[in-house]
A = this chain, B = another copy of it.
Amino acid sequence: MSSSSSKQNRGNFFEDFAVGQTIAHATPRTITGADATLYTALYGSRFVVQSSDAYARAIGFPGTPLDDLLVFHMVFGKTVPDISLNAIANLGYAECVFHAPVFAGDTVTVTSEVIGVKENSNGKTGVVYVRTTGRNQRDEIILSFVRWVMVRKADPASAAPDVDVPDLETVTTITTAPASFSRLKLDAWSNTLSGSPHRWDDYDIGEKIDHVDGSTIEEAEHQLATRLYQNTAKIHFNQHTEGEGRFGRRLVYGGHIISMARALSFNGLANAFHILVINGGQHVAPCFAGDTVYAWSEIIDKVAFDDTTDAGALRIRTVAVKNQAASHYPGAIVDDSGKRTYAEGVVLDIDYWAAIPR
């Protein structure tokens, strides 16, 4: 007696999503100091608060907080089997708020709510908007973000749902410091140990920073990273199928590029130690093993916190490019109609608020 099983997860299709639906994602994850170590080995990040337990304690943390993007990738990874296993494209991010620091040993559990659906005119695909929330073992929200993805329909003949597209902020307004900052003693901040004398007051709106260094991607590296995040998107791991696919090779997880760009940004933004909000982000072009990634940033806004004179926020746009230096700041060109096109080689355009001592 032999039978074929249907116990596998085949992922959700466009018809499977309805506005208001809540999805509890599987495989809660305890994030440890070892994840942080491997993250350092993967990206070479040098932000001092995440590197030195002694330094983190000196400025009032109970120990090194985990890198914000490590937490982001862990939360994101959980959503893949339910949200984007049948996705054609990861279209964008918005309203990504880092609500509370995460420390080694915290266990993250993730849910998503469907907040929008819109079938495409071709009748074969649609766009799904979800708001994803990560909580720690005390049920405190540590991260929430919206993303939208293009997903295949299982049956092109199925009826289109009512169009429901959420209103999303293009930029989150920052006025006060995060609650966790009330415990910080930023007067103990050492520019010598952080690696830069440049604080909030030293950055000007409009200032552009070439992060100088380039870093070449290896297959083993992006695979290790993406599996560390328990992200199961097939396109990153399977050369047998991808060799026959659109690019002829495995696609690097877009979040890997975000982390590479953030690590490179240390050279010029060493004191911008904590990401508060990612206002939005776009993967402009795919990356592959062998590509060398560079980055540059522009300071597009800055706010002093209402409630503390110790720190402020910089709104930073970081652009990553591949196989060319970023010294000429390649980016988007907006034409008369408002359409953005990107210069050759741009792979990532991300807009975020980061906290930095004053």
Q: Taking beta carbons and an 8 Å cutoff, which residues of A are in contact with B?
A: 1-5, 7-10, 24, 26-30, 32-38, 40-44, 46, 48, 51-55, 64, 81, 105, 107, 109, 137, 192-196, 198, 202-216, 218-221, 223-228, 230, 232, 234, 237-241, 250, 267-270, 290, 292, 298, 323-324
CA distance A192 to B42 in the complex (A): 31
What are 26 A-B interface contacts by the 8 Å CB criterion?
A1-B204, A3-B206, A4-B209, A7-B198, A7-B202, A7-B269, A8-B267, A9-B195, A26-B48, A26-B270, A27-B195, A28-B48, A28-B51, A28-B54, A28-B55, A29-B51, A30-B51, A40-B228, A44-B226, A214-B238, A214-B240, A216-B219, A221-B223, A239-B290, A240-B324, A241-B292
- The reply to whether B230 and A216 form a contact with Cβ atoms under 8 Å apart is no
CB-nearest residue of chain B relative to A227? Answer: B44
Are A52 and B30 in contact, CB atoms less than 8 angstroms apart? yes
- A24: chain B residues at CB < 8 Å are 192-193
A26:B240 contact, CB within 8 angstroms: no
A178 to chain B, nearest CB (A): 23
Residues on the B chain within 8 Å of A211, using CB: 8
Select A227's contact among B43, B224, B323, beta carbons within 8 Å: B43
A38 to B32, CA, bound (A): 11
> Which residue on chain B has the smallest CB distance to residue A196?
B7
Collect the chain B residues with CB atoms within 8 Å of residue A270's CB: 26
Assess whether B1 is in contact with A205, with CB atoms less than 8 Å apart.
yes
Which residue of chain B lies nearest to A136 when distances are taken between CB atoms in the complex?
B54
Q: Which residue of B lies closest to A138 (CB)?
A: B54
Question: What is the CB-to-nearest-CB distance from A293 to chain B, in angstroms, rounded to a whole number?
Answer: 9
Contacts of A46 in B (CB 8 A): 26-27, 230, 232
A339 to chain B, nearest CB (A): 22
The reply to whether B28 and A208 contact each other, CB–CB distance below 8 Å, is: no
Most interface-central of A27, A234, A298 (chain B CB within 10 A): A27
Sample of 5 more A-B contacts, CB < 8 Å, known A2-B207, A29-B52, A41-B224:
A8-B267, A26-B193, A40-B230, A41-B228, A44-B227
Is A232 within 8 A of B213, CB to CB?
yes
- Residue pair B223, A237 in contact (C-beta under 8 Å): no
Q: A191's closest neighbor in chain B, by CB?
A: B26
Contact B196 A5 (CB under 8 A): no
